[in-house]
Amino acid sequence: MSKIDLVKAVTELEEDLVLEGVKEQSAAGVAPVEILAQLQQGMEGVGKLYEAGDYYLSELIMSAEVFSNAAKLLDGALNADGDNNKIGTVLLGTVKDDIHDIGKNIVSTILSCNGFKVVDVGVDVPIETFIEEIKKSNPQVVGLFCLLTTAFDVMKETVAAIKASGATVTVLVGGGPVDESVAKWSNADGYCKNAYDAVEMSKKAVGAN
């Protein structure tokens, strides 16, 4: 077993140690899902520090990169399991007329490390693209992002179109200027203040709490 405490290394954002620990454990025959569980535990530690105000957005971005790079080392073995081990599918995208994606990318990584299959349709996404991808991917949750207040109207229109399409999905919204009142105004099913809210609400939506 590795002498490196993988959970601690992830929480403390020690990327070199994390990558070394993953390689060490893989070479020692530790199951990829067990290694991933340690990475996830470390990310939970990051989340607690972020919630407590000890970590800021820069640390959150860094933790997502550390996790993502470590998970890449396990990709081949994990993908062999296909999507069977995923607890649900979440569709993410930044609404039309907005090209910001840092928050979306953090949410995508952290949802992935918590067992979700994530379908990311990118930024400046037209309403029709969301509807088409919902039909194609059959997600349980759709996450809409925007960082511009000028995109609020498009966000509301996107929520309305998704609900009008008859799709049985939970629509969550988030992003810098978005708050509970914007979520209610746009008729979304929930507001995510951060990536960890997105995880909890998505788990609730798929009955995995």
CATH classification at residue 39: 1.10.1240.10
Same domain, 42 and 107: no
Q: Which domain range does residue 122 map to?
A: 88-205
Q: What is the pTM of this model?
A: 0.73
Residue 38 lies in a domain: yes
Cβ atoms 100, 147 nearer than 8 A: yes
62 with 127, same domain: the answer is no
- Whether residue 50 is found in the same domain as residue 99: no
Are residues 124 and 147 located together in one domain of the fold? yes
Give the pLDDT confidence of 10-55 residue by residue, as tens digits: 999 999 999 999 999 999 998 887 888 888 788 888 888 988 899 9
Please write down the HEC assignment for all residues of the chain.
CCCCCHHHHHHCCCHHHHHHHHHHHHHCCCCHHHHHHHHHHHHHHHHHHHHCCCCCHHHHHHHHHHHHHHHHCCHHHHHCCCCCCCCEEEEEEEECCCCCCHHHHHHHHHHHCCCEEEEECCCCECHHHHHHHHHHHCCCEEEEECCCHHHHHHHHHHHHHHHHCCCCCEEEEECCCCCHHHHHHCCCCEEECCHHHHHHHHHHHCCCC
Q: Is residue 45 part of a domain?
A: yes
Measured between alpha carbons, how far is residue 180 from residues 55, 176, 191 in Å? 23, 12, 6
Residues 139 and 192 in one domain: yes
Q: What is the pLDDT of residue 85?
A: 62
Specify the CATH number for the domain of residue 131.
3.40.50.280
Same domain for 71 and 143, yes or no, is: no
Share of the chain above pLDDT 90, in %: 58
Point out the domain boundary residue: 61, 79, 97: 79
Q: Total structural domains in the chain?
A: 2
Centroid of chain to Cα 180: 20
120 and 100 in one domain?
yes
Place of tokens 């509301």: 156
Give yes or no for residue 1 having a pLDDT over 70: no
**In-domain check, residue 1:** no
Query: Do 107 and 163 lie in a common domain?
Result: yes
Identify the band that residue 130 occupies on the pLDDT scale cut at 50, 70 and 90.
Answer: very high
Which domain-ending residue is among 47, 79, 111? 79
**Does position 131 have pLDDT exceeding 90, yes or no?**
yes
